[in-house]
């Protein structure tokens, strides 16, 4: 390789700044800023490195510093939003640096003019974000210059100028870059840098939120980020009594708990085989008699959740209070607590045969493995319900279902996959297989249990994390990463929740009971 070609090659390296870098950095600052008052002295530079060496970052090319980002940690509550640059940096001495602070404050970013256009500033911003996350700081805050404002100062206010930059009607060399790097403007600051004539001494107060920030670290009991789901694809078979049924239930709970699953999901009406006992009755009378077993089954499933250390979504079972027959799913947590979710939408068949009625409420349930929602079968075909749950920060949606034919199954599965994409969450579905001869309205079953995800680079390309064998009694166990949802909602290729046009439409829950 010729010497000339070697000199043309870039060898970029990201590293922390050293004291010996001052000459290179001073040279870049002088070319970047018109006034000497906006450049650091050697003494100030030394103080900054001594105060917080990890926060002073640079990119070098073939041994020469070509881009720089400087920062410090502050307790932001001590300064508030109306600070000046000198106040928060201690007049360049960085004696305001506070190791116990909650905010990474960006003081400077500048790039050698010969290297502009190579997106080195973006690399430095990404390094700052990584530092903020690794130090578990709440956010990055910076006062941003708006050097392009000088051309428009006689025509508009700083607020109007910022609005036009946001809408890409005006390009500002600093603000446009910061907005493109996921910073948002909190407010306009006056007299932030009096010597900054290009900005007319105005500045934007910018913030980037660390979505991984944990206010309080715990040695045990931290919120899980990797959650293991166990789904039971249940075979309809004759059971002689509740004990016989629960023996099979315990077998599957034991199976998925052996894999350290956090959840075990059963299908809708998994206890339907007990209907055989009432087969001589009218269908509506038989389902009401089946409801008499629900309380006992729920208590026994709660005990299984405790003894096998797994949260159980107990599919669904009929509940009858003497006036209303409803379809209910129980969440049996492994700490011994329970909650329930009623099916809201009743199919024409369920209404005609059994006289089922829909519930009147919906909620997100807190668990030790994330926020979860439950929608029973037909309910997944109504997108408003999932969106309401998503607005309550649901991570995982469980859908126990019962479908008799392939087209019925495809309605449920296709809608479930859509809900995962629309609401940036995981959706787990499972149903029953096999058949129940001589049990009216429970003739055949069609199921392929699955776990669906959003569709973006961090997830499977087909948005399917796991899928069971079709119409076979089995289980599937798979992990879902809740941190990927957090990342998606903040920085995904598309952001379905964040980019809704709430100025045009919204979904409201009318029932306040």
Active site residue 343: yes
Helices (H), 173-240: 175-180
Q: How far apart are CA 499 and CA 503, in angstroms?
A: 11
Active site residue 332: no
Are the CB atoms for 184 and 204 separated by under 8 Å? Answer: no
Q: How far is CA 37 from the centre of its chain?
A: 44
Catalytic hit among 60, 235, 264, 268:
268
Q: Which residues are CB-contacts of 261 (< 8 A; sequence separation ≥ 6)?
A: 228, 229, 230, 310, 477
Q: How many residues does the chain have?
A: 513
Catalytic hit among 343, 415, 417, 424:
343
The encoded tokens of residue 26 equal 């001073």
Q: Which residues are CB-contacts of 346 (< 8 A; sequence separation ≥ 6)?
A: 327, 356, 357, 358, 378
Are the CB atoms for 165 and 176 separated by under 8 Å? Answer: yes
Active site residue 235: no
DSSP class per residue in 286-341: HHHHHGGGHHHHHHHHHHHHHHHT-EEE--BEEEE-SS-EEEEEEEE-TTS-EEEE
Catalytic hit among 58, 377, 415, 425:
377
Burial environment of residue 438 by CB neighbours within 10 A (0 to 12, 13 to 18, 19 or more): exposed
Query: Sign of the C-alpha dihedral, residues 466, 375, 316, 340?
Result: positive
The encoded tokens of residue 351 equal 């209404």
Active site residues: 268, 343, 377
């Amino acid at each position: 390789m010729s010497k000339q070609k070697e000199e043309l090659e870039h060898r970029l390296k990201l590293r922390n700044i050293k004291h010996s870098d001052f000459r290179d950095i001073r040279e870049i600052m002088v070319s970047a800023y018109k006034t000497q008052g906006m450049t650091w002295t050697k003494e100030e530079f030394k103080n900054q490195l001594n105060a917080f060496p990890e926060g002073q970052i640079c990119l070098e090319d073939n041994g020469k510093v070509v881009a720089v980002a400087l920062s410090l940690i502050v307790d932001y509550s001590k300064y508030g939003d109306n600070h000046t640059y000198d106040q928060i940096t201690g007049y360049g001495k960085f004696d305001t640096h506070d190791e116990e602070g909650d905010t990474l404050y960006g003081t400077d970013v500048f790039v050698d003019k010969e290297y502009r256009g190579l997106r080195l500033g973006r690399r430095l911003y990404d390094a700052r974000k990584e530092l903020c996350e690794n130090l578990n700081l709440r956010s990055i805050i910076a006062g941003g210059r708006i050097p392009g404002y000088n051309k428009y100062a006689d025509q508009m206010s700083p607020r109007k100028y910022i609005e036009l930059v946001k809408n890409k009607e005006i390009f500002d060399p600093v603000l446009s870059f910061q907005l493109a790097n996921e910073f948002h403007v909190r407010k306009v600051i006056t007299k932030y840098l009096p010597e900054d004539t290009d900005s007319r001494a105005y500045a934007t107060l910018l913030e980037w939120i660390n979505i991984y920030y944990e206010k309080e670290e715990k040695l045990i009991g931290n919120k899980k980020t990797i959650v293991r789901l166990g789904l039971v694809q249940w075979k309809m078979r004759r059971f002689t009594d509740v004990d016989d049924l629960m023996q099979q239930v315990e077998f599957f709970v034991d199976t998925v708990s052996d894999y350290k699953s956090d959840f075990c999901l059963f299908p809708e009406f998994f206890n339907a085989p007990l209907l055989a006992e009432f087969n001589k009755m009218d269908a509506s009378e038989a389902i009401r008699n089946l409801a008499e077993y629900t309380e006992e089954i729920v208590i026994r499933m709660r005990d299984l959740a405790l003894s096998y250390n797994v949260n159980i979504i107990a599919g669904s079972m009929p509940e009858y209070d003497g006036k209303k027959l409803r379809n209910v799913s129980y969440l049996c947590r492994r700490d011994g607590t329970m909650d329930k979710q009623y099916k809201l939408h009743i199919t024409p068949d369920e209404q005609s045969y059994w006289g089922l009625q829909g519930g009147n409420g919906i909620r997100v349930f807190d668990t030790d493995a994330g926020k979860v929602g439950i929608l029973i079968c037909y309910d997944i075909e109504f997108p408003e319900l999932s969106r309401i749950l998503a607005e309550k920060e649901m991570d995982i949606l469980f859908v126990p279902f019962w479908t008799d034919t392939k087209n019925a199954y495809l309605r449920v599965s296709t809608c479930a996959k859509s809900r995962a994409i629309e609401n940036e969450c995981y959706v787990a579905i499972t149903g029953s297989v096999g058949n129940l001869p001589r049990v009216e309205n429970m003739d055949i079953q069609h199921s392929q249990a699955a776990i669906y995800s959003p569709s973006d680079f961090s997830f499977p390309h087909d948005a399917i994390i796991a899928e069971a064998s079709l119409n076979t009694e089995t289980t599937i166990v798979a992990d879902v990463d809740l941190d990927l949802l957090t990342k998606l909602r903040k920085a995904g290729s598309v952001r379905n929740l964040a980019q809704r046009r709430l100025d045009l439409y919204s979904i409201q829950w009318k029932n306040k009971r």
